[in-house]
Amino acid sequence: VTVKKHPQGLEYVEVDTDLCQARIFMQGAQIDRFQPKGQAPLLWVSSADDYQPGSGIRGGIPICWPWFGMHENPQWPQHGFARTRLWNLDAVQMRDQVVELKFSLTISDDDKQYWAHPSRVELIFTLSDSLSVSLVNTNLGDTPINLTQALHTYFPIEDIHKLKASGFNGARYIEFGEGPYPQAGDEVLFDRETDRVYTQLGDCQLLHTPQGIIEVRRDNSHSAVLWNPWIEKSKRLSRFNPQDYLTMVCLEAANVLEDRVELAPGESHTLSTHIRWLPKAES
Ligand code: BG6
């Protein structure tokens, strides 16, 4: 585990073990590379991103906190402020080639305009031949808190036209502010812009790509976001090539609807996602 500096100035932690390679930036505690040894990368990042300090990285896992999407105050940043702030690396542990990294976010005086509640915000990565990420919120104040959040994961899928996402049976979704519509069947195919917040969703989805199947599990999350910008929106996105929509999809572990996080004084909540290539024998 070594700390390095990107040519543009951002600091990151590089992890290289017998089981995986990974890179996590202090800005946003944002992981942009994770590759189990002998397997393909599990995270997508745009080649258009130039890693400028102050703007989030277009790929990996940006942290949306303490709100997801647009705030009701339209002047406030989309997806909260945590993804562009410097986090602290508090602890690194390695046991049997499994590395655990613990980050925390100190809310600056400037950011108290967005979030004034005394709280502890931590992000824990567990890196082995799979990737686990946990976002832990603790209410340290004496009044309740209420927030929405997401682990906004970008996956490499090779060809959006060949992608099949499964595990959606029984869920409902909201698309472009409409709905919730019932999910028709277990599978989702992609032939247009897709920007859905799912609710009542089971805790495991699969992304069937030409290269293999990515398994995505969630804990303490009954909502998830499924996003591909398609052709027109791709042209308007920052740090994104017009063709990028062909090779990525976001499936985000979230608490954004009826599962928004409400914490009484002293209470904690942990949102987690677990990602791996499914071994061929299990698929
Ligand atoms: C998704 C939203 O989660 O994030 C989309 O559902 C949004 O509507 C996308 O466009 C990317 O947001 P941003 O702020 O990173 O460009």
For ligand 1, say whether the CB of 49 is within 6 Å of any of its atoms.
no
With a 6 A CB cut-off, is 253 part of the ligand 1 pocket?
Answer: no
DSSP 8-class letter at 45: B
CA distance 277 to 273: 14
65 C-alpha vs ligand 1 centroid, how far in Å? 13
With the most atoms of ligand 1 within 8 angstroms of its CB, the residue from 78, 154, 176 to mutate is: 78
Q: Which amino acid residue places its CA nearest to atom 6 of ligand 1?
A: 195
Q: For residue 220, is it left (φ>0), alpha (ψ between -120 and 50) or beta?
A: left
Cβ–ligand 1 contact at 254 (below 6 Å): no
Tell me if residue 157 falls in helix, strand or coil.
coil
pLDDT digits (tens, 9 = 90+) for 72-96: 999 999 999 999 999 999 999 999 9
Cβ(225) to ligand 1 under 6 A?
yes
What pLDDT score was predicted for residue 282? 82
| Residue 237 CA, closest ligand 1 atom number | 16
Atom 8 of ligand 1, nearest CA residue: 195
Say which residue the tokens 């398609």 belong to.
230
Confidence of residue 144 (pLDDT cuts 50, 70, 90): very high
Domain that residue 38 falls in:
2-282
Mean of all residue pLDDT scores within the chain: 97
- Rounded-to-integer distance, Cα 157 and Cα 249, Å: 7
**Residue 241 binned pLDDT confidence (cut-offs 50, 70, 90):** very high
Q: Specify the residue for token string 């390695």.
A: 94
In terms of DSSP bridges, do strands 119-127 and 131-139 run parallel, antiparallel, or are they unpaired? Answer: antiparallel
Q: How confident is the model at residue 247 (pLDDT cuts 50, 70, 90)?
A: very high
Q: Is the CB of 113 under 6 A from ligand 1?
A: no
**Which atom of ligand 1 is the closest one to the Cα of 78?**
14
Give the pLDDT confidence of 107-128 residue by residue, as tens digits: 999 999 999 999 999 999 999 9
**Which pLDDT value is given to residue 176?**
82
Distance CA 76, CA 70 (A): 8
Atom number, ligand 1, closest to the C-alpha of residue 233: 10
pLDDT (average), residues 206-212: 97
Q: Is the pLDDT of residue 283 over 80?
A: no
How would you list the strands of the sheet with 30-36, edge to edge?
Answer: 2-5, 11-16, 20-25, 30-36
68, amino acid identity: F
Q: Mean per-residue pLDDT for 262-281?
A: 96
Backbone φ and ψ of 236, nearest 5°? -95, -10
pLDDT category of residue 278 using cuts at 50, 70 and 90 = very high
Peptide bond into 66 cis (omega under 30): yes
Report yes or no: 245 and 229 within 8 Å, Cβ to Cβ: yes
Q: What is this structure's pTM?
A: 0.98
DSSP-derived 3-state class of residue 233:
helix
How many folded domains does the chain comprise? 1
Mean pLDDT throughout 183-207? 97
- Whether 268 shows a pLDDT value over 80: the answer reads yes
32 lines ligand 1 (CB under 6 A): no
Q: What ligand 1 atom has the least distance to the C-alpha of 56?
A: 15
Q: How much distance in Å is there from the Cα of 38 to the middle of ligand 1?
A: 31
Judge if the beta carbon of residue 195 lies within 6 A of ligand 1. yes
Region for 100 from its dihedrals, namely left if φ exceeds 0, alpha if ψ lies in -120 to 50, beta otherwise = beta
Whether the pLDDT of residue 160 is over 80: the answer is yes
- Confidence at residue 217, expressed as pLDDT on a 0 to 100 scale: 98
Instruction: Say whether pLDDT at 1 is over 90.
Output: no
79 lines ligand 1 (CB under 6 A): yes
What pLDDT was estimated at residue 281?
A: 81
Query: Can you give the pLDDT at residue 280?
Result: 83
| pLDDT tens string 225-240 | 999 999 999 999 999 9
Residue 48, domain CATH: 2.70.98.10
Whether the per-residue pLDDT at 177 is higher than 90: the answer is no
Q: How many Å from the N-terminal Cα to the C-terminal Cα in the chain?
A: 33
Among protein residues, the one with the nearest Cα to ligand 1's atom 1 is: 227
User: Which of 15, 103, 62, 19 is closest to 276 using CA atoms?
Assistant: 19
